[in-house]
């Protein structure tokens, strides 16, 4: 039995591991959880939080509480440097930690690329808590009746939901919202069924959210070039896809082409068998998966089995993703839009269902 297991990051899969450890922690195994925040925010509820459906405390898991109940030591710090061959992690609080087994579930960062020159008005969607706080500060700076031009860049489900939620949040504060959704050439919801895209485009049009299917490039603070137009923006929200954190590259662990940790079907590193990785930070080489919370959640049970199996030199299990993932998009009007393979639906009942699923998830881990 190895002596020390480190859970790096309080992501979705680690919540499942912590929950399991509450009743099944091997006494001889020391487990540490490293997280920069005592809270794990749930991205699926962020649009509802912005739109005013939830309070902040409804959308987060208390890592300190679940770690305590699981007999796990919580260290509030971020990893800044990882030496995989030496099995060493250097943390932001100056500590160095060694491990026998490591599980990485630290998510991803936001691709900012050509948007950075837009300056202070640029707001990456991650980390979610920083994003939410800065949004509130920026919104508070306006007086009722002011006009705010907000560009959301990114045509995925997160971009569409955030555009609708921000518009609703501004209107609730009696501001005139001029909201743009800039999607790149692929348009909205690339990879979803045409019927879903059609519904969403109608909805955005009805709400007065302009969709621009061109690439955005910042040219100076507050100014963007989009296709052949130049636009001045008060706020630019980047939901532009997942980027690997900088500390992975020098770690000496095998990385996939996209820069994330290369793992096999058992979510185990290709180069270091004592390392497991799940969620956005991992890339399956046998079966590329979307960077989506669904996989981080669903792989949690398998990760848990595999960490304990690896500790006892037992057989690992593969994570077998479902062929089609369910997406429920909060449309910030008391309704939600369902996308499940070729199927789509929209209505208040979809939002009720989404609310039930999301709040059940949070309740499962909070005391
Ligand atoms: C607005 C929005 C809505 C979304 N809605 C959905 C949805 O409805 N369905 C869906 O499937 N996907 C959704 N996604 C995608 C989803 O958020 C991600 O795929 C998912 O969060 C990835 O989960 P994870 O467990 O890998 O990482 P995360 O949930 O990002 O958790 C990572 C954890 O690691 C910690 N961490 C980060 N860096 C470090 C470090 N250096 N050291 C230590 N700890 C660290 C973080 O603080 C965090 O606690 C949405 C994304 C956004 C932005």
Is 33 touching ligand 1 by the criterion CB < 6 Å?
no
Residue 19 resides in a domain: yes
pLDDT of amino acid 367: 81
Each residue's pLDDT tens digit, 185-194: 999 999 999 9
- The verdict on residue 197 lying in a domain is yes
Q: Are residues 102 and 117 both part of a single domain?
A: no
* Residue 12 alpha carbon, nearest atom of ligand 1: 25
Q: Are residues 118 and 195 in the same domain?
A: yes
Using the 3D structure, point to which of 271, 287, 311 is the last residue of a domain.
311
What digits encode the pLDDT tens for the residues 14-50? 999 999 999 999 999 999 999 999 999 999 999 999 9
Per-residue pLDDT at 1: 66
211 lines ligand 1 (CB under 6 A): no
Cα dist from 21 to 1, 5, 24, 104, 169, whole Å: 16, 12, 5, 17, 39
- Is there a domain that residue 290 lies in? yes
Distance 242 CA to ligand 1 centre (A): 10
What is the structure's pLDDT at 323?
Answer: 86
Say whether both 172 and 96 belong to one domain. Answer: no
Q: Which of 241, 264, 295 is the last residue of a domain?
A: 241
Asked if residue 339 belongs to a domain, the reply is no
Instruction: Let me know whether 150 and 219 are in one domain.
Output: yes
Ligand 1 centroid from CA 114, angstroms: 23
Cβ of residue 79 lying under 6 Å from some atom of ligand 1: yes
For residue 157, being part of any structural domain is answered with yes
Statement to judge: residues 274 and 202 lie in one domain: no
* In a shared domain, residues 223 and 263: no
DSSP letter at 329?
A: E
How does pLDDT run across 221-269, given as a tens digit for each residue? 999 999 889 999 999 999 998 999 999 999 999 999 999 999 999 999 9
Q: What CATH number is given to the structural domain containing 278? A: 3.50.50.60
Q: Which residues contact residue 244 at a Cβ distance below 8 angstroms, ignoring those fewer than 6 apart?
A: 108, 109, 255, 258, 259, 260, 281
Q: Output the residue whose Cα is nearest ligand 1's atom 17.
A: 43
Q: Are 102 and 249 within one domain? A: yes
134 and 182, same domain (yes or no): yes
Whether the CB of 7 sits within 6 Å of ligand 1:
no
The angle subtended at Cα 204 by Cα 199 and Cα 207, nearest 5°, is 125
Q: Using a 6 Å cutoff on CB, does residue 35 contact ligand 1?
A: yes
- Decide whether any atom of ligand 1 lies within 6 Å of the 298 Cβ: no
In a domain, 43, yes or no: no
173 and 206 share one domain: yes
131 and 168 co-located in one domain: yes
Measured between alpha carbons, how far is 66 from 20 in angstroms, rounded to an integer?
10
- Ligand 1: centre distance to CA 232 (Å): 30
**Ligand 1 centroid to residue 206 C-alpha, Å:** 30
Calculate what percentage of the chain has a pLDDT beyond 70.
Answer: 99
Q: Does 156 sit in the ligand 1 pocket, CB within 6 Å?
A: no
Q: Whose CA is nearest to atom 1 of ligand 1?
A: 158
pLDDT in tens, 298-356: 999 999 999 999 999 999 999 999 889 999 999 999 999 999 999 999 999 999 999 99
Q: Is residue 48 in contact with ligand 1, taking CB distance under 6 Å?
A: no
Strand arrangement, sheet containing 336-340: 326-330, 336-340, 343-347
Instruction: Let me know: does 240 contact 111? Beta carbons within 8 Å.
Output: yes
* In a shared domain, residues 142 and 172: yes
3-state helix, strand, coil in the chain (%, to 5): 35, 30, 35
Total tally of structural domains belonging to the chain: 2
Q: Which of 39, 44, 124, 159 to mutate to test the pocket of ligand 1 (most atoms within 8 A of CB)?
A: 44
Hey, whose CA ends up nearest to atom 25 of ligand 1? 11
Cβ count near 145 (within 10 Å): 8
Domain that holds residue 15: 4-36+77-108+244-311
> What DSSP element (H or E) covers 63?
helix 63-70
pLDDT digits (tens, 9 = 90+) for 127-174: 999 999 999 999 999 998 999 999 999 999 999 999 999 999 999 999
Q: Are residues 102 and 205 in the same domain?
A: no
Cα 262 to middle of ligand 1, angstroms? 18
CA of 33 to the centre of ligand 1 (A): 16
Specify if 67 maps to a domain.
Answer: no
Give bridge partners of residue 327 from the DSSP assignment: 339
Q: Are 103 and 278 in contact (CB under 8 A)?
A: yes
Q: How many CB atoms lie within 10 A of CB 86?
A: 10
Of the residues 217, 241, 265, which one is the last residue of a structural domain?
Answer: 241
Q: Is residue 271 part of a domain?
A: yes
Which residue's alpha carbon is at the smallest distance from atom 9 of ligand 1?
293
* Distance between start and end Cα atoms, the chain: 30
177 pLDDT band, cuts 50/70/90, is confident
Tens of pLDDT, residue by residue over 112-135, are 988 998 999 999 999 999 999 999
Q: Report how far apart, in Å, the C-alpha atoms of 363 and of each of 123, 283, 329, 366 are.
A: 29, 29, 21, 5
Query: Residue 152's beta-bridge partner residues?
Result: 181, 237
Separation between Cα atoms, residue 163 and residue 235, nearest integer Å: 11
Mean pLDDT value across residues 49-53: 93
Atom 37 (ligand 1): residue with closest C-alpha? 106
């Amino acid at each position: 039995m190895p002596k020390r297991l480190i859970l790096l990051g309080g992501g979705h899969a680690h919540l499942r591991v912590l929950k399991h450890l509450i009743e099944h922690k091997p006494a001889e195994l020391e487990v540490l959880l490293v997280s920069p925040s005592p809270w794990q925010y749930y991205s699926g509820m962020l649009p509802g939080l912005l739109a005013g459906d939830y309070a902040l405390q409804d959308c987060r898991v208390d890592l300190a509480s679940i770690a305590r109940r699981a007999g796990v030591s919580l260290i509030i710090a971020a990893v800044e440097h990882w030496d995989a061959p030496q099995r060493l992690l250097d943390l932001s609080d100056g500590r160095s930690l060694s491990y026998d087994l490591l599980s990485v579930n630290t998510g991803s960062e936001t691709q900012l690329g050509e948007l950075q020159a837009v300056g202070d008005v640029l707001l990456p969607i991650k980390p979610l808590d920083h994003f939410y706080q800065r949004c509130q500060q920026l919104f508070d700076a306006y007086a009722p009746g002011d006009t705010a031009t907000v560009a959301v860049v990114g045509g995925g489900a997160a971009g569409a939901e955030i555009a609708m939620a921000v518009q609703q949040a501004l209107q609730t504060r009696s501001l005139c919202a001029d909201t743009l959704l800039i999607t790149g050439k692929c348009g909205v919801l690339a990879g979803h069924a045409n019927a879903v895209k059609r519904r969403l485009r109608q909805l955005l049009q009805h709400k007065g959210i302009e969709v621009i299917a061109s690439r955005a490039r910042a040219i100076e603070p507050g100014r963007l070039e989009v296709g052949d137009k130049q636009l001045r923006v008060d706020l630019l929200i980047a939901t532009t896809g997942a980027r690997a954190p900088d500390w992975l590259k020098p770690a000496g662990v095998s990385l996939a082409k996209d820069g994330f940790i290369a793992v096999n079907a058992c979510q185990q590193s290709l180069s270091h068998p004592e390392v497991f990785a799940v969620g956005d930070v991992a890339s399956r080489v046998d079966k590329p998966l979307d960077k989506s919370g669904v996989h981080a959640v669903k792989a949690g049970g398998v990760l848990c089995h595999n960490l304990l199996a690896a500790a006892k030199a037992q057989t690992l299990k593969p994570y077998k993703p479902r062929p089609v993932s369910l997406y429920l998009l909060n449309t910030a009007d008391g309704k939600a839009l369902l996308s499940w393979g070729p199927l789509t639906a929209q209505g208040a009942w979809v939002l009720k269902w989404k609310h039930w699923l999301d709040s059940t998830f949070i309740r499962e881990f909070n005391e």
